[in-house]
Amino acid sequence: MAIFNLQKREIECKIVYYGPGRCGKTTNLDYIYNKFKKQVQGEMVSINTEGDRTLFFDFLPIGIGKIKGCEVKVQLFTVPGQVQYSSTRKLVLKGVDGVVFVADSLEVRREKNLLSLKDLQQNLKEYGLSISKIPLVLQYNKRDLADEGLPIMSIEQMEKDLNRQLKVPSFPGAAIKGDGVGKTLQECLKLTLINLQKELKWAD
């Protein structure tokens, strides 16, 4: 639910990082906070629980400058991935304009990815949104763990599991080193802004 302020010619939209517990959502935001200093417009707020797991959300406000004479502000959020926090997950998703789904490449997390994607679809539906229409980008995270000898899924396998029907842009990533973080966000922003432009008939 982007907010368009005509007087200030400013638009504010919301992008949510979704995905199973421990897949690296917070790590994505940490990297953005530390490395994209020019865009960051405030502190990153993390509300965590035991073991650095997200309890409510992470929040990071960024600005991406002017587009067609309009200042674009973006609120980045992560949801808590742990299964038991489903009501908070849904709350955080409210008013979302674009989604980054972070999937864990570890083989042992295959089913968790699927369940989380299903959960995303369900929660979007409850807000009257459709997973096949909302601007969505996938990130296959933790690719680096293959070097440590841990079994990870091939990109083909993950595409088949998660992206066969959706057919949305997807990126391999290793958020801990920053690999793929910028590209994923950039693509999600692009899709989100195109969508908003259509919806709000902005810049006509």
- Site residues (CB under 8 A) for other proteins? 1, 3, 22, 45, 47, 49-53, 55-56, 59, 75, 84-85, 87-88, 91, 94-95, 106, 108-109, 125-128, 130-133, 142, 145, 148-150, 165
Shortest gap between Cβ of 203 and Mg ion (angstroms)? 35
Q: Decide: is 54 part of the binding site for Mg ion (CB under 5 A).
A: yes
Backbone angles phi, psi at 24, to 5 degrees: 115, 25
Q: Decide: is 172 part of the binding site for ligand GTP (CB under 6 A).
A: no
Q: What amino acid occupies position 156?
A: E
Name the nearest CA neighbour of 176 among 147, 135, 134, 136: 147
> Which position among 10, 12, 21, 61 is part of the footprint of ligand GTP (CB under 6 A)?
21
Q: Hey, which bits of the chain come out as E strands?
A: 3-5, 10-18, 45-49, 53-67, 70-78, 98-104, 136-141, 170-172
Contact 97, 15 (CB under 8 A): yes
What's the token pair of residue 72? 């674009």
Pick out residues in 23-52 that bind ligand GTP (CB under 6 A): 23-27, 52
- Binding-residue pattern over the window 158 to 197 for Mg ion, x denoting contact by CB under 5 A: ----------------------------------------
Q: Residues 103, 106, 112, CA angle at the centre, nearest 5°?
A: 55
Q: Decide: is 113 part of the binding site for ligand GTP (CB under 6 A).
A: no
Q: Decide: is 145 part of the binding site for ligand GTP (CB under 6 A).
A: yes
